[in-house]
Structure 1
Amino acid sequence: MTDTIAAVEAILPVSRETGERLERYVALLRKWQPAQNLVSPNTLGQIWTRHVADCAQLVAMFPDTRRWLDLGSGAGLPGLITAILLADTDGAVVHCVEANQRKCAFLRTVIRETGAKAIVHEGRIESVLKRWSEPVERISARALASLADLLDLSAPVLAAGATGTFHKGEDFEGELAEASKSWSLDLIRHKSMIDERSSIVEICRAERRIV
């Protein structure tokens, strides 16, 4: 199957303007990739399916969410894809947290050239979230850390009422078992729309266990 924007349209209808913004994102990713290694080189032939559509499913699953916090944004996956899809939505904003200066430059370039509803926060996640005060409905993260580490990183914002929404692969059961040693969790595991081996894990409640 040819890797095109049709992979996104199969799970989420997009306007012509949104499609053009996504095309611009992909063009910028390809342009910056040789110098920044933004994604795994062996996935470049499947950018639309492996990356863009995989991230777009968050908006398909949670269409009413307006205020997102994306941790370890890197190439903007899923943060910038979410922000592009919400570019015409009133009140929408995606806060992208990234420590790497060059990747922050890429994120800001995409925001400027696509009109994505996003703000870049440069710095280590722990440092940025320690002083976090912006209202957030959902936290996203993809290919960043284990579930236990994600819970540790996002704890301040989860405690303030946000819901965690994390991409997880086929090793999720092992990650859940490890995280459950330290956390009492209420979660919903959504089957990925893109990869049957993967899940979108929604953390509805997370309380640290008292040891």
Structure 2
Amino acid sequence: MAELPDVMLRRLALYEDLLRKWQSSINLIARSTLDDIWIRHFVDSLQVSSAAPQARRWVDLGSGGGFPGLVTAIRYADDPNAETHLIESDQRKCAFLRTVSRETGAGAIVHCGRIENIAPKLDAPFDAVSARALAPLPELLRYAEKFLEKGAVGVFSKGEQIEAELTGISAAANYQIASVASETSDSARLILVRRRVE
């Protein structure tokens, strides 16, 4: 990962401070990862947007504590062509996401509700759709189908079970699926999904 600009480092440091404060009342990340936030969460999330470097309009599914979607919004906070939508069903996590977005100037648009209720209402074109630790890949493809069908690239962070998930995909005929090594974990992969063009 290239060296990060100072303004982005300051925004991420503020994000870390807010996350640590809110973590005591809301389970935003696994407690075992609190001492390794920068690698396990920030760098891990930055590699998602790096995997689709031309993408500026993102929708993040099941944003939770903001990984990777809120980190993507922070990366492109000063780009007038960028827009990041976060979909999260938990009201308290939505409040956290809005707070971090406001305090860091990330400008993320937070949609509080279930993916199946929110996604159909998002009609603007998106360049990319992301998710991390949300669901098995076949389910992710169903959630992301609308965006993928309109030309977005899917960038999904997956762990050790990805080989079994890839084997079980019946929709593979409709998509080009590539697996890229993670920069932060030997057992993790980034799965890139694009609609197959006839």
In structure 2, the gaps of 5 or more residues are: none
In structure 1, the gaps of 5 or more residues are: 1-10
Q: 2:73·2:84 contact (CA, 8 Å) conserved in 1? A: yes
Partner of 1:122: 112
Is 2:56 aligned against 1:66? yes
Superposed displacement of residue 157, structure 1:
1.5
Number of aligned positions between the proteins: 196
Task: Tell me the distance in 2 between the aligned counterparts of 1:81 and 1:40.
Answer: 17
Q: Deviations over 1:26-69 (max 9, x none)?
A: 11000000111100111111111111110011233322210000
Partner of 2:30: 40
Partner of 2:19: 29
Q: 2:179·2:191 contact (CA, 8 Å) conserved in 1? A: yes
Superposed displacement of residue 182, structure 1:
4.3
Q: 1:158·1:206 contact (CA, 8 Å) conserved in 2? A: no
Task: Tell me the distance in 2 between the aligned counterparts of 1:61 and 1:202.
Answer: 8
Q: 2:85·2:111 contact (CA, 8 Å) conserved in 1? A: yes
Superposed displacement of residue 183, structure 1:
4.0
- AA aligned to 1:190 is V
- AA aligned to 2:40 is R
- Indicate which of 186, 195, 198 corresponds to 1:205: 195
Superposed displacement of residue 206, structure 1:
6.3
Is 2:155 aligned against 1:165? yes
TM-score, length-scaled by structure 2? 0.94
Task: Tell me the distance in 2 between the aligned counterparts of 1:104 and 1:152.
Answer: 23
TM-score, length-scaled by structure 1? 0.89
